[in-house]
Amino acid sequence: MAGLSFDEQREANIARNKALLATIGLSEEATALLPPRAVKPPKKKKQLQSKKRKAPTPEPEKDGDENTSDAPPAKVSRVESSGLRRSGRTAGKVVDYAGDGDKLPQGTRTPKLLTEAARKGATRSEGRIPDQRTQDPKQYGPIPGIKVGTWWESRLDCSKDAVHAPVVAGITCGPDGAYSVALSGGYEDDVDLGEGFTYTGSGGRDLKGTKQNPKNLRTAPQSSDQDWDNPFNSALQRSVESKKPVRVIRGFKLPSIFAPAEGYRYDGLYTVEKAWQERGLNAKGFLVCKFLFKRVAGQPPLPRCGEEEDENENEDEGEDEDGETTLEGETVAEQEKEPESDEETKVDGSNDSPPSATKNRGSGRQRRATKQ
């Protein structure tokens, strides 16, 4: 297996990944049916580029300022507020979360509920992201108060909500498997069918460059084999055995119709069905660790492309597409305590009313295709 061209190798890998997805009942055809608008017509790019940022505080850092959390509950809508952009490094620099001293006691930490907006089920995270983490990301299953479909502008915001702690890393390790993973592109032979996907592990990247050309990067192209000694990969391997659910977030860079147009979105819980190794799409064909994920049944349907939560508030239980009588009731486990609603009839997410979004942002993010 050395004579394959890049494209041939790519096709072979994708075919293999799809075949594995088929073993858990997922096919591309089924995926194509789901939404009315699977294929996205070319859209006209709208400005949307500027990352409006919630106004931090006029004063970069002021000592006094105790408990910043009492911020305005309302806030609402992600008003662009025109200018005002996250001035990265040069500006304030010291962002100092945790405000003054008061580091979390680590062991025992008062839960401290999220803001009203969060509990109410805001699909957007604006205005309610805590300055410092209020919940423990090192727990399996859903994060209390964070609904499926919650969206963040950045990985750091997602981290603050404890859904996926690392800011760069894609996998969070735990004793009985990974707590969470992030799908953000980066590997061309990963296949995302929404209800399931294949995922590539960590390691084998040349972050420090070469001796002659030293670098200090956070991500880089594959330069060696990935192995199971890698703590991230082994964690996902344990997930296969433990069957513990893994929180999944999809990022805007993911080349998939299930990727959010912007930012990062919590897509609920998945289980890792299988772990294996295969040749990656590297010129040298380095080995990569791969994993087969399957979405836990009974969760809100995944939005496609630009359609986040739309207005479809309660679409009743019209058992549409894939839903097909799954519902298992308690199968979803503690997805949330809602004893009254016997059926899944929309557990959470989906409802809510988008403040102003209306998201037309189709953001065409074309399918890969590069790398000819």
Partner DNA sequence: GGGCCCGCAGGG
Partner DNA sequence: CCCTGCGGGCCC
Our finding on whether 23 is near DNA (CB under 7 A) is: no
Residue placing its CB nearer to DNA in the complex, 145 or 174: 174
Binding segment (CB under 7 A) for DNA, from list 33-41, 246-254, 270-278, 297-305: 246-254
Among the residues of the chain, which ranges form H helices? 6-22, 28-33, 116-120, 155-160, 231-242
Closest CA to 248 of 196, 288, 202: 196
Among the residues of 175-253, which ranges form H helices? 231-242
CB of 366 to DNA, least distance (A): 12
Pairing of strands 180-183, 246-251: parallel
CB of 244 to DNA, least distance (A): 14
Residue placing its CB nearer to DNA in the complex, 89 or 337: 89
Three-state SS sequence of 237-275: HHHHHHCCCEEEEEECCCCCCCCCCCCEEEEEEEEEEEE
Cα distance between residue 356 and residue 102, in whole Å: 36
Our finding on whether 231 is near DNA (CB under 7 A) is: yes
| Interacting residue with DNA among 48, 169, 287, 333 (CB under 7 A) | 169
CB of 214 to DNA, least distance (A): 8
| Interacting residue with DNA among 40, 43, 52, 253 (CB under 7 A) | 253
Beta bridge pairs of residue 178:
none
- Residue ranges with strand state E in the chain: 151-152, 171-172, 180-183, 196-200, 246-251, 264-279, 287-295
| Interacting residue with DNA among 17, 180, 184, 363 (CB under 7 A) | 184
DSSP secondary structure of 72-93: -S---TT---SS-B---TTTT-
Considering only residues 66 through 85, tell me which ones interact with DNA, judged by CB under 7 A. 85
Residue placing its CB nearer to DNA in the complex, 181 or 347: 181
Q: Return the exposure string of 113-149: e unless at least 16 CB atoms fall within 10 Å of the residue's CB, then b.
A: ebbebbeebbbbbbbbbbbebbbebeebebbbbbbbb
Q: CB within 8 A of 113, min separation 6: which ones?
A: 119, 134, 145
| Interacting residue with DNA among 82, 90, 212, 314 (CB under 7 A) | 90
Our finding on whether 151 is near DNA (CB under 7 A) is: no
CB of 151 to DNA, least distance (A): 12
CB of 34 to DNA, least distance (A): 22
Closest CA to 332 of 324, 320, 322, 344: 344
Our finding on whether 257 is near DNA (CB under 7 A) is: no
Considering only residues 37 through 56, tell me which ones interact with DNA, judged by CB under 7 A. 51
| Interacting residue with DNA among 4, 205, 274, 354 (CB under 7 A) | 205
Beta bridge pairs of residue 327:
none
| Interacting residue with DNA among 120, 208, 243, 368 (CB under 7 A) | 208
Our finding on whether 137 is near DNA (CB under 7 A) is: yes
Size of the site for DNA (CB under 7 A): 55
Site residues for DNA per CB under 7 A: 51, 85-91, 93-95, 97, 133, 137-138, 154-156, 159, 165-174, 182-187, 190, 199-200, 202-203, 205, 207-208, 215-219, 230-232, 251, 253-254, 264
